Amino acid sequence: MPAPAVHAIILDIEGTTTPIAFVTTRLFPYARTHLTSYLNSHRAACADVIDRLRAEHHQEADESPPSWSDAPEEARIRSATEYVDWLMDRDRKSPALKELQGRIWKDGYRSGELIGEVFPDVPVALGRWHRLGIPVGIFSSGSVLAQQLLFRHSAAGDLTRFLRWHFDTAVGAKGEPESYRRIASAVDAAPEQILFVSDIVRELDAARAAGMQTRLSERPGNATPPKHHHPVVRTFDQIP
Ligand SMILES: [Mg+2]
C-alpha cells in the first residue's frame, strides 16, 4: 500500500538540517566565551534571567553547584557565570540557561560573528517544498528563539519565510509519541500525512508510534544509528 501523500514536513535540526558540530563546536563555546562580557554589558536587561538562575540554583537538590552570593553586584554576576558554566559542563536543560544562551547568540548573529549553518541541499529543498505548497516546521530541543536565529541568519540567507512552525520541548520531549500527536493537531493534518525527519531513531520511533511517516537522516558527522526500520535519506534531494 503506498504511503499517504505528505501534507506537511517536520524537521529536526542537529544532524538533520545542520551539522552536529555547528552546535557543539560553534554555538555552545560561543555562549560560554561571551557569558561574562554579555552579563556585564547588559546588567539591567539580564536582571530577570539572573533571578531565574538564582531560583534554579536554590532548588538544586541532587548535586552541589558553586556557591551563590547576591552582593555586591559583581559577586552576583560572578555567581551567575559560575553556575551557568556548571550547568553547561553537565549539559543540563535549564530553562534559564537556554534563555541566556539564546540572548547571547542573538547578539552574535546580529553582529555577523555567528552564521547559521545548514547543509547545501536544505535551502534548495525548502524552496521546492514551498513551491509545491507543502508547509514545513521545525521540532528541536533548541529553543524557538535559537531555531529562528539559526535559520534567519543562515549562510543561504533568511530561510524563516519557508518555516511555518517552530516547536521546542514546550510541546513535549522528542522521544514521546504524545509530543508528535500535539504537533499533528497544531499542524492540523492527520499524522499519516506528516513526514518527520531526524537522525535519532528514538525520536523517529515516537513519531511513528503517533502515526507519522519517518525518514532517518544520515549526515556527515552523525553517529551510526542503532538497528532500525526507518527509510534513510542522505540529502533532502531524496524527499520529493
Ligand atoms: Mg538531531
What CATH number corresponds to the domain at position 152?
3.40.50.1000
Mean pLDDT of the chain: 96
Last-in-domain residue among 76, 111, 146? 111
Looking at residues 185-194, what average pLDDT do you find? Answer: 96
Q: Is 3 inside any structural domain?
A: no
Residues 136 and 166 in one domain: yes
Interval between CA 32 and ligand 1 midpoint (Å): 22
Last-in-domain residue among 56, 80, 111? 111
What is the pLDDT confidence band of residue 93, given thresholds at 50, 70 and 90? Answer: confident
Q: What integer pLDDT is reported at residue 113 of this predicted model?
A: 97
Residue recorded with cell 514536513: 9
Give the Cα separation of 13 and 118 in Å (integer): 9
CA 235 to chain centre: 20
Say if residues 105 and 27 touch (Cβ distance below 8 Å). Answer: yes
- Assign residue 75 the CATH number of its domain: 1.10.720.60
Give the Cα separation of 73 and 98 in Å (integer): 22
Interval between CA 231 and ligand 1 midpoint (Å): 16
Residues 99 and 168 in one domain: no
Range of the domain at 87: 24-111
Give the Cα separation of 201 and 32 in Å (integer): 30
Interval between CA 199 and ligand 1 midpoint (Å): 5
Give the Cα separation of 84 and 45 in Å (integer): 17
Interval between CA 140 and ligand 1 midpoint (Å): 8
Span 61-88, pLDDT tens digits: 888 999 999 999 999 999 999 999 999 9
Residues 92 and 132 in one domain: no
CA 75 to chain centre: 32
Interval between CA 42 and ligand 1 midpoint (Å): 32
Residues 222 and 122 in one domain: yes
Residues 201 and 146 in one domain: yes
Residues 64 and 120 in one domain: no
Give the Cα separation of 129 and 146 in Å (integer): 23
Q: Is 65 inside any structural domain?
A: yes
Span 138-187, pLDDT tens digits: 999 999 999 999 999 999 999 999 999 999 999 999 999 999 999 999 99
User: Of the candidates 106, 50, 107, which has an alpha carbon nearest to the alpha carbon of residue 82?
Assistant: 50
Interval between CA 222 and ligand 1 midpoint (Å): 9
pLDDT exceeds cutoff 80 at 1:
no
Residue 49: DSSP 8-state:
H
Count of structural domains within the chain: 2
Q: Is 2 inside any structural domain?
A: no
Residues 69 and 100 in one domain: yes
pLDDT exceeds cutoff 90 at 192:
yes
Interval between CA 198 and ligand 1 midpoint (Å): 5
Q: Is 58 inside any structural domain?
A: yes
Residue recorded with cell 553556575: 83
Residue 216: strand pairing partners: 198, 232
Interval between CA 58 and ligand 1 midpoint (Å): 32
Residues 166 and 201 in one domain: yes
Interval between CA 139 and ligand 1 midpoint (Å): 9
Interval between CA 200 and ligand 1 midpoint (Å): 6
Interval between CA 13 and ligand 1 midpoint (Å): 6
Interval between CA 11 and ligand 1 midpoint (Å): 9
Residues 80 and 138 in one domain: no
